[in-house]
Amino acid sequence: MNLDIVIMAAGKGTRMKSKLPKVLHKLAGRALLGHVLHTAAQLKPRSVILITGHGAPEVIAFSADSVPANSPFSLKTVLQEPQLGTGHAVQQAVPELGDEGISLILSGDVPLTQMDTLQALVTQCAGQQIALLTIEPADPTGYGRIVREGDAVKAIVEHKDASEAQKQIREIYSGIMALPTHLLKRYLSLLDNNNAQKEFYLTDVIKHAVADGTAVAALKITDAAQVAGVNSPAQLQELEREYQKRAAYKLMEQGVRIADAARFDLRGDLACGQDVSIDVGCVFEGRVWLGDEVQIGAHCVLANCTIARGVVIHPFTHIDGGKEGATVGAGALIGPFARLRPGAQLGEEVHIGNFVEVKNSTLAKGAKANHLAYLGDATVGERVNYGAGSITANYDGANKHRTVIEADVHVGSNCVLVAPVTLGAGGTIGGGSTITKDTPAGALSVARGKQVSIADWKRPTKKK
């Protein structure tokens, strides 16, 4: 059956105390709404209808960016202005909803609902009845209570409208329901705002359904994180930690050793080989791949990179491959305090030490830059040794140029290699040289003032 997903995202999010619309705040590096859209897409809907209000331009721009034009479902946005409650919100979607099919109602601020849970809810609806996702939280205060007679669901009563007896009910409505669209439309048209909040409640759909003889089923789950909404920075942080704990345990189940699940952060996708270990305080962003036996030291940030078998990354290393990516070859040693930028392609057994920056450069097997150096737009041959304090001057103020350092070259300390320039294989560059011309293979090249000593040099003295 055709599935149309309605995502409510018009609310203000007052308690976030932020200029950014609530649904654009990030959890695990992705906007709350991004999580919901991602899960929605997995359900293969016919359409997704996003209800916007507060911050509509930003929310619409974000959703257009995250749902590609060639996506198999259509994304429609509608404006709810003013916001008169959840029922009023869904009423705005009615013109966009085809009569046949099932509507699934979600909220843009509930990021961690799992696809299979929603699939089960849609299956329970079966195009015939209303299926509510419910839960029994430790504290039901503030939520809509599921009122039953025997087993049958009779109504959802909002906390502010509930009698003392109804407030004792533990089962609450999660905010998520699936129902046949033609029934949704019929009951939405019957809503009024005669209640404590003077709002049009989506939850009043239930009493109209019951009066109409439509069956209402409840799918009760126990995993609170799946239906937890974000209303405040504290709740966002709590859900973030829950997400990260789950991500860490999932990796540990695959054999990854994580020193502390509470000090692990994944903001993207991390794939690991066998016997990978990750020390405390590391952050992984974008797409990161760690090969067998990779060791990541404490407090490293790794983004968009591929790290081959047996690499050791020492503490406080920052790798960000950006759009081009960065690769580190098998057995390489990186850090501590190393920085690899987009286009860094390091071969096997390369050593990159402290305070060394590598950008858009290829280093062949066994090349070493162990201290305080910059390699930008360089092609570095096998076994090259690149001295402390040396840099490639790759930028002339307008254009970038390449430096080629052939195999077995030794670059002394504090050299400036002014690109474009090629250092011939096996050559040696004397420390402190500013190299502006190509150097021949095998030779010692020195480009600096000659050392002189003045024997009878008198130091200046202060006049009295």
Q: Do the beta carbons of residue 159 and residue 145 sit within 8 Å?
A: yes
CA-wise closest residue to 2 among 202, 212, 185, 182: 182
Q: Contact between 59 and ligand UD1 (CB under 6 A)?
A: no
Candidate list 85, 273, 291, 347; residue touching ligand UD1; CB under 6 A = 85
Q: Based on the residue annotation, tell me whether 88 is a catalytic residue of this protein.
A: no
- ∠ CA(355), CA(360), CA(362), 5° rounding? 90
d(CA 177, CA 358): 52
> Interface with ligand UD1 includes 16 (CB under 6 A)?
no
The answer to whether residue 8 forms part of the interface with ligand UD1 (CB under 6 A) is yes
Q: Is residue 187 involved in binding ligand UD1 (CB under 6 A)? A: no
Under rule CB under 6 A, residue 175 binds ligand UD1: yes
Among 59, 89, 130, 205, binds ligand UD1 (CB under 6 A): 89
Under rule CB under 6 A, which residues in 429-458 are in contact with ligand UD1?
none
User: Smallest distance, Å, CB 180 to ligand UD1?
Assistant: 19
| Closest-CA residue to 226 (of 249, 213, 242) | 242
In the block, tokens 């420390």 appear at 431
159, 318, 371, 401: the catalytic one is 371
Choose between 161 and 275: whose C-beta lies nearer to ligand UD1: 161
Give CA separation, 277 vs 146, 226, 262, in Å.
46, 29, 15
Q: Which positions from 36 to 55 touch ligand UD1 by CB under 6 A, shown as an x/- string?
A: ---------------x-x--
Q: Taking CB under 6 A as the rule, does residue 143 contact ligand UD1? A: yes
Contact residue for ligand UD1 among 101, 137, 229, 431 (CB under 6 A): 229
Identified binder of ligand UD1 from the candidate list 109, 265, 279, 406, rule CB under 6 A: 109
- In the complex, least distance from residue 177 CB atom to ligand UD1, rounded to whole angstroms: 10
Q: Are 174 and 145 in contact (CB under 8 A)?
A: no
Tally Cβ neighbours within 10 Å of residue 12. Answer: 12
Is 158 a binding residue for ligand UD1 by CB under 6 A? The answer is yes
Candidates 27, 32, 39, 173; binder of ligand UD1 (CB under 6 A) is 173
Nearest distance, CB of residue 317 and ligand UD1, angstroms: 40
**Rounded distance, CA 431 to CA 414, Å?**
6
Give the pairing of strands 130-135 and 74-79.
unpaired
Which listed range, 68-76, 196-204, 272-280, 404-412, lies at the site for ligand UD1 (CB under 6 A)? 196-204
Binding mask 248-287 for ligand UD1 (x = CB under 6 A): ----------------------------------------
Interface pick for ligand UD1 out of 86, 181, 345, 392 (rule CB under 6 A): 86
- CB distance 390 to 365 below 8 Å: no
Residue 203 is a binding residue for ligand UD1 (CB under 6 A):
yes
Residue 140 binds ligand UD1 (CB under 6 A): no
Q: Of residues 21, 34, 55, 108, which one binds ligand UD1 by CB under 6 A?
A: 108
Shortest Å, Cβ 120 to ligand UD1: 19
**Stretch near ligand UD1 under the rule CB under 6 A, chosen from 61-69, 84-92, 178-186, 430-438:** 84-92
Question: Applying CB under 6 A, what is the total number of residues that bind ligand UD1?
Answer: 28
* Identity of the residue, 192 or 260, whose beta carbon is nearer to ligand UD1 in the bound complex: 192
Q: Does residue 172 bind ligand UD1 (CB under 6 A)? A: yes
**Mind telling me the catalytic residues?**
371
Return residues touching ligand UD1 (CB under 6 A).
8-11, 51, 53, 80, 83-86, 88-89, 107-109, 143-144, 156, 158, 172-175, 201-203, 229
